[in-house]
C-alpha cells in the first residue's frame, strides 16, 4: 500500500513527472465490464483522461455512467477490466484506499454527513491526510493540536473558495439543495485529489445555478490543478466546458471526441432522440 | 468571539483539578458517612454512566447498533472477580470442580485486575467486532445479540473456570464511590477527548453515511473496530466494578434485560450525546432502585396486591415508549449541554436579531 501511495504522490504532483509518465493518462479504464446478474450495465468500457483535462461522461439515464464511477471509486469491483491512476492499477481497491491514492467523488444522490456541520463535513474529508495517530490525538499533544488548528484553517479556506463560508456552522442537512451539492464538492476537494469525479453535479438546479456551478468547476480545475471527470445526462450543460467526452448508451460506448464531433455524431443523436432523454431533460 | 476574554489555560487546569479534588473528597467522606443504600445506588450510577457511554460510542456516535454489551460486561466481571478473589475463597467456592491453575493460586490488586478486564474484554470485542463489522443494521444487532448469548452459555459450561451456573461468591467488595466515579470520570474524559479529535468526527461521519465516509478515505474497518473495542473495554471494566460491588455473579445476570437496561439509558439521554447519557444513566439507575417497591406485595386501600417480579421493567418500557413518542432522539438528541451553549443561548436572547454565529 505504502509504495503505491508513493507512486501516486510522485506522479500526482505537478512538475515532478519523469519522462515516461508524461503521456500517461491521469485516469484510464481498460475494457471495464460490469454485470449485475443478467444485466450488463457497462460493456468493454475504455477511457483515457489526460492530466489536467475536464472530461465529460454523458449518456441517457440508465446508460451506466454512475456504474463507471462506482467502479473507479472502488464501490464496485468490475466483472472484468482494469482502472489505472497515472498508470498504476487500482482495480478492486477499497474506496478509502482509492481516496487516499488521489481519486475523490461526489454522489448523484447527495450523500452528506447530514448531522454534522458544514465545517465538519469538510474536516472529515481532511481526515485521511492526518499525521497524528489516535493516542497523540487523544492526549492532545501539541503536535495534534497544531494539526487540528491547521485542518480547521484549511477547511475554512476551502469553504471560502467554494462560497460556503457564511454557513460553516449550519448543519449540512439545513442547507438548500444547491449548496449541499457545492458542499459535496468542497468535501471531495478536502481529500486533496488528483482526479475529481462529479456525478451530475447540476442535477436539480435551475439554469442560472447550473451556469454558476459550471464556472466553479472550471475554476477549481485550474486552481487545484485537477483532472475532472464529469457525468451529465443533459448534453447541453457540458458542451460548453468539457474538452472531450465519451458517450455511453445502454452500457456501450457509442462515441468519443470533442463536443463538436459529438454533436454531429449520428449515433449520439439517435441515442438521445430514441432514448427519450430529451423528453426527460 | 473576539471580545470574549480568554481564560488562562493554567487557571483552567487549576480550577478543574480543584473541582476534582473536592469531588473525590466529598465522595470519600460520603463513603464513610452516607447510609449503605445511598452509597450502593451512587456506586451503580457511576458504573452505569461509564458503561452507557461505552454503548453510546458504538451505537450512538458511530451508528453501529450492537446488542452485545451484557456479554462484554460478563467477560469483565468474571476476569476481575477471578483475579481479585483470594485462593482460599476460590477453593471454597469451586467445590464441584476445582479452579484451574494458575487462576486458583493468584490474587491481584483491584487496579491491575480492572486493567486486565479492559484488555480481555477489548480482545473479545475485537474478535466479535472484526467479523461482525461486515454486517449492517439489523444483521449487526442479531449477530452481537447472539454473541452475548454464546458468552452466557459458555460461561455456564466451563465449570473449571467460571464455576458454571452456580457463579462466583465471596468476591472482595473493592468497589467504592472513588472507584465507580473515578471510572465514570475516566469514561467521560475519554469520550469528550475522542469526540474533539479528527477520529471522533470520522466516527460520526460513519454514522451519518457509511458509503460517503469510505469514499472520503475513512477506513471503515479501523474506525468501526475502534468504536467496538473501546465500547467493549468500558463495558468490561464496568462489569468488573459491578461484580466487586455486589460480590456475587452468575451467568444469568448477563442476559438480554441487562443490555436492554443500558440501551434504554442511552436512548433516553440521546444516542450521540455525552451529557445526555450521563444524566440519563444516573436518573434511570436511581429510578430502577426506587421502583423496586413496585415489585413487593403491598396493601393499598384494603386491596392486597401481590408482588409482580419484573414490574419495574414494564413501567420502564412504557416510560421509554412515551419518551420516544415525544422526544424521538432522546432528551438531548446529539447535542451537548455545556456552559458555552448556555452563554450562547443567553447572548442569543440579548440580541435576537444578530447572525447565527453569536
Ligand atoms: N448495484 C446495482 N445492482 C444492480 N443493477 C444496477 C446496480 N447499479 C446500477 N444498476 C443498473 O445498471 C444500469 C446503469 O445504471 P447507472 O450506472 O446508475 O446509470 P446512469 O448513471 O447512467 O443513469 C441501470 O439499468 C441500473 O438499474
Ligand atoms: Mg447516474
Q: What would the pLDDT profile of B237-280 be if each residue is shown by its tens digit?
A: 999 999 999 999 999 999 999 999 999 999 998 888 999 999 99
Which residues of chain A from 192 to 251 reach within 8 Å of chain B, CB to CB?
none
Residue-averaged pLDDT of chain A:
87
| 3-state DSSP assignment of residue B2 | coil
Among B198, B205, B220, the residue with its CB nearest the CB of A148 is B198
Q: Measured between alpha carbons, how far is B40 from B34 in angstroms, rounded to an integer?
A: 10
Residue-averaged pLDDT of chain B:
89
Query: Does the residue B357 lie in any domain?
Result: no
Domain region containing B177: 14-254
Spatial contact of A45 and A70, defined as CB atoms under 8 Å apart: no
Among B212, B226, B356, the residue with its CB nearest the CB of A169 is B356
Q: What is the pLDDT of residue A22?
A: 59
For residues A137-144, average pLDDT: 87
Q: How far is the CA of A271 from the centre of ligand 2 (A)?
A: 16
Q: Measured between alpha carbons, how far is B74 from B195 in angstroms, rounded to an integer?
A: 27
Q: Measured between alpha carbons, how far is A12 from B261 in angstroms, rounded to an integer?
A: 53
Q: What is the pLDDT of residue B315?
A: 84
What does B160-219 look like in DSSP terms, one character per residue? HHH-GGG-B--------HHHHHHHHHHHHHHHHHHHHSHHHHHHHHHHH-HHHHHHTT--
Return phi, psi of residue A196, to 5°: -115, 130
Within 8 A of B122 by CB-CB distance, chain A residues are none
Using CA atoms, how far residue B73 sits from A101, A141, B7, B54, B78, in Å, is: 41, 32, 41, 11, 9
Within 8 A of B216 by CB-CB distance, chain A residues are 96, 99, 104, 124-125, 127-128, 187-188, 190-191
Q: Which atom of ligand 1 is nearest to the CA of A68?
A: 17
pTM: 0.89
B146: exposed, middle or buried (Cβ count in 10 Å: 0-12, 13-18, 19+): middle
Reported ipTM: the value is 0.88
Q: Measured between alpha carbons, how far is A10 from A4 in angstroms, rounded to an integer?
A: 10
Q: What is the pLDDT of residues B80-126, one digit of tens each?
A: 999 999 999 999 999 988 988 888 899 999 999 999 999 999 999 99
What is the share, in percent, of chain B residues with pLDDT greater than 70? 93
Q: How many alpha carbons fall within 13 Å on the CB side of residue A188?
A: 31
Residue whose cell numbers read 444524566: B279
Take atom 9 of ligand 1 and give the residue whose Cα is closest: A67
Q: What is the pLDDT of residue A2?
A: 38
Q: Are B214 and A94 within 8 A, CB to CB?
A: yes
Q: Where are the domains of chain A?
A: 1-102+194-281, 116-191
Q: Are strands A103-105 and A195-199 parallel, antiparallel or unpaired?
A: parallel
Q: Measured between alpha carbons, how far is B80 from B85 in angstroms, rounded to an integer?
A: 9
Sign of the torsion formed by the C-alpha atoms of A104, A110, A111 and A112: positive
Residue A26 is placed in which grid cell?
491521469
Query: Does the residue B272 lie in any domain?
Result: no
What count of other Cβ atoms lies within 10 Å of the Cβ of residue B320?
17
What is the domain count for chain B? Answer: 1
Q: Measured between alpha carbons, how far is A161 from B6 in angstroms, rounded to an integer?
A: 30
Q: What is the pLDDT of residue B2?
A: 45
Residue B256 is placed in which grid cell?
438480554
Comparing CA positions, the residue from B316, B272, B285, B317 lying closest to residue B65 is B272
For residues A2-15, average pLDDT: 40
For residues B270-292, average pLDDT: 91
Q: Which atom of ligand 1 is nearest to the CA of A65?
A: 22
Q: Measured between alpha carbons, how far is B138 from B125 in angstroms, rounded to an integer?
A: 19
Q: Are B194 and A138 within 8 A, CB to CB?
A: yes
Q: Which helix (H) or strand (E) holds A28?
A: strand A27-36
CA A99 to chain B, closest CA, distance in angstroms equals: 5
- Which is the CATH superfamily of the domain at A1-102+194-281? P-loop containing nucleotide triphosphate hydrolases (3.40.50.300)
Q: What is the CA radius of gyration of chain A?
A: 19
Amino acid at each position: 500500500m505504502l509504495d503505491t501511495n508513493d507512486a501516486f504522490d510522485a506522479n500526482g504532483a505537478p512538475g515532478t513527472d519523469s519522462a515516461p509518465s508524461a503521456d500517461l493518462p491521469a485516469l484510464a479504464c481498460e475494457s471495464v465490464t460490469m454485470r449485475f446478474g443478467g444485466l450488463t450495465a457497462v460493456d468493454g468500457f475504455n477511457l483515457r483522461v489526460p492530466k489536467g483535462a475536464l472530461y465529460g461522461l454523458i449518456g441517457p439515464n440508465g446508460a451506466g455512467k454512475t456504474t463507471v464511477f462506482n467502479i473507479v471509486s472502488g464501490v464496485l469491483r468490475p466483472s472484468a477490466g482494469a482502472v489505472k491512476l497515472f498508470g498504476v492499477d487500482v482495480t478492486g481497491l477499497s474506496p478509502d484506499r482509492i481516496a487516499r491514492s488521489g481519486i475523490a467523488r461526489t454522489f448523484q444522490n447527495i450523500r452528506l454527513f447530514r448531522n454534522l456541520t458544514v465545517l465538519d463535513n469538510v474536516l472529515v474529508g481532511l481526515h485521511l491526510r492526518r499525521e497524528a495517530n489516535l493516542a497523540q490525538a487523544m492526549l492532545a499533544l501539541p503536535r495534534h493540536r497544531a494539526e487540528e488548528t491547521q485542518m480547521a484553517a484549511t477547511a475554512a479556506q476551502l469553504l471560502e473558495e467554494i462560497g460556503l463560508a457564511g454557513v460553516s456552522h449550519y448543519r449540512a442537512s439545513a442547507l438548500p439543495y444547491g449548496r449541499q451539492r457545492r458542499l459535496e464538492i468542497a468535501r471531495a476537494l478536502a481529500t486533496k485529489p488528483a482526479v475529481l469525479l462529479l456525478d451530475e453535479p447540476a442535477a436539480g438546479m435551475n439554469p442560472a445555478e447550473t451556469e454558476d456551478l459550471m464556472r466553479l468547476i472550471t475554476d477549481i480545475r485550474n486552481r487545484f490543478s485537477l483532472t475532472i471527470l464529469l457525468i451529465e445526462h443533459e448534453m447541453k450543460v457540458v458542451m460548453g466546458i468539457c474538452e472531450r467526452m465519451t458517450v455511453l448508451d445502454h452500457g456501450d460506448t457509442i462515441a468519443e471526441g470533442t463536443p463538436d464531433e459529438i454533436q454531429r455524431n449520428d449515433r449520439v443523436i439517435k441515442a438521445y432522440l430514441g432514448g427519450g432523454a430529451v423528453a426527460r431533460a | 468571539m473576539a471580545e470574549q476574554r480568554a481564560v488562562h489555560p493554567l487557571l483552567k487546569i487549576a480550577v478543574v483539578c480543584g473541582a476534582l479534588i473536592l469531588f473525590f473528597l466529598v465522595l470519600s467522606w460520603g463513603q464513610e458517612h452516607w447510609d449503605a443504600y445511598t452509597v450502593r445506588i451512587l456506586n451503580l450510577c457511576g458504573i452505569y454512566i461509564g458503561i452507557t457511554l461505552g454503548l453510546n460510542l458504538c451505537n450512538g456516535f458511530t451508528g453501529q447498533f450492537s446488542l452485545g454489551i451484557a456479554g462484554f460486561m460478563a467477560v469483565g466481571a468474571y476476569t476481575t472477580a477471578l483475579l481479585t478473589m483470594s485462593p482460599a475463597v476460590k477453593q471454597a467456592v469451586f467445590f464441584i470442580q476445582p479452579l484451574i491453575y494458575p487462576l486458583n493460586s493468584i490474587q491481584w490488586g483491584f487496579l491491575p485486575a480492572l486493567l486486565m478486564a479492559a484488555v480481555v474484554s477489548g480482545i473479545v470485542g475485537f474478535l466479535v467486532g472484526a467479523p461482525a463489522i461486515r454486517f449492517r443494521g439489523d444483521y449487526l444487532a442479531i449477530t452481537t445479540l447472539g454473541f452475548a448469548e454464546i458468552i452466557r452459555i459458555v460461561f455456564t459450561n466451563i465449570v473449571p473456570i467460571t464455576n458454571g451456573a452456580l457463579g462466583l461468591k465471596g468476591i472482595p467488595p473493592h468497589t467504592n464511590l472513588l472507584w465507580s466515579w473515578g471510572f465514570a470520570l475516566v469514561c467521560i474524559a475519554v469520550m469528550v477527548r475522542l469526540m474533539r479529535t479528527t477520529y471522533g468526527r470520522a466516527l460520526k461521519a460513519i454514522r451519518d453515511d457509511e458509503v460517503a465516509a469510505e469514499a472520503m478515505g475513512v477506513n471503515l474497518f479501523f474506525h468501526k473496530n475502534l468504536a467496538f473495542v473501546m465500547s467493549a473495554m468500558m463495558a468490561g471494566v464496568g462489569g468488573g466494578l459491578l461484580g466487586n460491588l455486589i460480590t456475587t455473579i452468575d451467568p444469568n445476570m448477563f442476559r438480554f434485560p441487562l443490555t436492554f437496561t443500558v440501551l434504554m439509558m442511552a436512548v433516553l439521554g440521546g444516542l450521540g450525546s455525552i451529557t445526555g447519557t450521563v444524566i440519563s444513566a444516573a436518573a434511570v439507575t436511581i429510578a430502577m432502585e426506587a421502583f423496586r417497591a413496585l415489585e413487593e406485595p403491598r396493601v393499598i386501600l384494603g386491596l392486597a396486591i401481590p408482588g409482580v417480579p419484573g414490574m419495574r421493567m414494564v413501567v420502564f418500557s412504557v416510560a421509554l415508549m412515551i419518551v420516544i413518542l415525544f422526544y424521538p432522539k432522546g432528551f438531548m438528541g446529539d447535542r451537548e449541554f455545556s456552559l458555552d451553549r448556555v452563554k450562547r443561548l443567553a447572548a442569543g436572547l440579548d440580541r435576537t436579531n444578530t447572525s447565527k454565529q453569536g
